[in-house]
Amino acid sequence: MRLDTRFKWLPTPILSLLLFFVWLLLNNSVSAGHLVLATILALVIPWITSPFRTKQPLVIKPWLAFRHLLLVLYDIITANVQVAILILGPNKKLTPGFVKVPLDLTHSMPITILASTVSLTPGTVSAEVYPWRECFTEGEKPKQRFLLIHVLNLKDEQALIDTIKERYEAPLKEIFQC
Amino acid sequence: MTEWIISILLLIGGSFVLVGSIGLVKMPDFFMRLHGPTKATTLGMASLLTAAMVFFSTAQSGLSVKEILISIFLLLTAPISGYMLIKSAIHHKLDSIERTQGKDNIEDDV
C-alpha cells in the first residue's frame, strides 16, 4: 500500500484525471480553452485541498483497475436482470439470509469500494463492517474484519463467500497492493 | 432509426425502474425491499439517460454527453444510500422474516 505519489505537486493522479473529464463533460466541449482550463483545475484543486484530506491508498495498477471496472459494470447488468427475475418470481421461493465475509483488506478505502461493488452486484447488499473502528486501540494489531451482507436468495453460503473473495476482493488487493 | 433506438432504450429503462418499485412494494421485509431500489434502478436509470443522450445528440447539433456524468454519480451514490438505510435498520433492530438464515451473524451495537 502506498500513500504518497512520486511527485509532490500531483497528490492524487486518478482524482485529477476524473476532475479533468468531469469539467469537460460539464461544459460539453473539447475546445482548446476548456482543455487548458480543465488541466489547470485538475492540477490546482487536488494540490490546494490535499492538506485537508486524509491520505488514501494509491491505485498502483491502473490497467488492472480499468479491467476490474469493466468486469463490475458487466456484473451490474447481469445483477439487474437476475434481481428483476427474483423480484417478479414468487416470494415464497426466496431464502434471504445474512452472511459474514471475512476480509483480507485492512484499509477502509478498499473496503468501501468492495462494499459498494457488493451492493451493486447480484442479490447482495452490504450491511455492516465488523468490528467497528472504535474497537481498536492505538498500536494494537488490527483484528480480522468481517463484512456483513444481506443476500436476497441464499443457496450456498460458502460458494457465495468464495465468489466475492475471488471475483471482487482479490483484484482490489492487487490494485492497491495491500 | 434513431427513434427506434430511443424508444427501445426508454422501454428497457422504464421496465427496470418499474420492476425495482414492484420489488419495493412486494417484498415481505425491509432488508429484502432494499434489493430492488439499489440494483434494478441503476440499470434502469442508465438506459433512460442513454436514451436522453441519443435524443439530444440527434435532435440538436453536437453531442450531448452530460448524461454520462449523471450515470457516474448515480453509480457512486446508490450503494451509499443503500448502506445508510440498512445500517440504520440494523441499529433499530428491525425484524426480518422468519426464514432468514444467519440472523446470529448480526452483532449487537456497542
Query: What's the pLDDT tens digit per position in A107-165?
Result: 788 888 888 888 887 778 888 887 766 555 556 666 778 888 888 888 888 888 888 88
One domain, residues A48 and A92: no
State which of A58, A83, A99 marks the end of a domain: A58
State the best of B15, B29, B39, B94 to mutate against chain A, taking most chain A CBs within 10 Å. B39
Q: Whole-angstrom Cα distance, residue B39 to residue B24?
A: 11
Q: Which domain holds residue A120?
A: 62-176
Tell me what pLDDT residue A142 has. 63
Average pLDDT over residues B46-50: 89
A10-24, A92-106, B7-21, B89-103: least confidently modelled range: B89-103
| Residue A127, all three cell numbers | 450491511
Q: Do A120 and B32 touch (CB under 8 A)?
A: no
Q: Do B106 and A98 touch (CB under 8 A)?
A: yes
What is the number of H-type helices and E-type strands within chain B? Answer: 5, 0
What is d(CA A122, CA A80) in angstroms, rounded to the nearest whole number?
7
B110 pLDDT band, cuts 50/70/90, is low
Looking at the complex, report in whole angstroms how far the Cα of residue A32 sits from the nearest Cα belonging to chain B.
17
| Same structural domain, A164 and A136 | yes
User: Total structural domains in chain A?
Assistant: 2
CB contacts of A120 in chain B (<8 Å) are: 38-39, 42, 75, 78-79
Local structure of residue B92 (DSSP, 8 states): T
DSSP state of A154: -
* A145 shares a domain with A114: yes
Contact B43 A76 (CB under 8 A): yes
How close, in Å, is residue B51 to chain A by CA atoms?
Answer: 17
- Give residue limits of the domains in chain B: 2-96
More confidently predicted of A61 and B63 = A61
- Nearest 10 degrees: CA dihedral of A166, A167, A168, A174? 70
Nearest neighbour of A80 by CB, restricted to B27, B43, B79: B43
| Same domain, residue pair A19 and A42 | yes
Average pLDDT, chain A: 82
**Residues A10, A78 share a domain:** no
**Cα B87 to chain center, whole Å?**
18
Is A54 in the same domain as A69?
A: no
- Between B40, B87, B99, which is nearest A95 by CB? B99
pLDDT of residue A141: 62
Same domain assignment for residues A43 and A113:
no
Within this chain, do residues A83 and A151 fall inside the same structural domain, yes or no? yes
Contact (CB<8Å) B83/A132: no
Highest mean predicted confidence (pLDDT) among A6-10, A19-23, A101-105: A19-23
- A27 and A72 share a domain? no
Q: Does residue A104 share a domain with residue A37?
A: no
Asked if residue A107 and residue A131 are part of one domain, the reply reads yes
Of A136 and A65, more confident: A65
Query: What is the spatial distance between Cα A11 and Cα B18, in angstroms, rounded to a whole number?
Result: 43
What is the spatial distance between Cα A164 and Cα B5, in angstroms, rounded to a whole number? 35
User: End of a domain among A58, A73, A101?
Assistant: A58
pLDDT score, position A157: 82
CB contact under 8 A, B79 and A148: no
Say whether the ipTM exceeds 0.90. no
Same domain for A114 and A163, yes or no, is yes
Q: Which residue has the higher pLDDT, B29 or A136?
A: B29
Q: What does the pLDDT look like over A17-55, one tens digit per residue?
A: 889 988 888 888 788 888 999 999 998 988 888 888 877
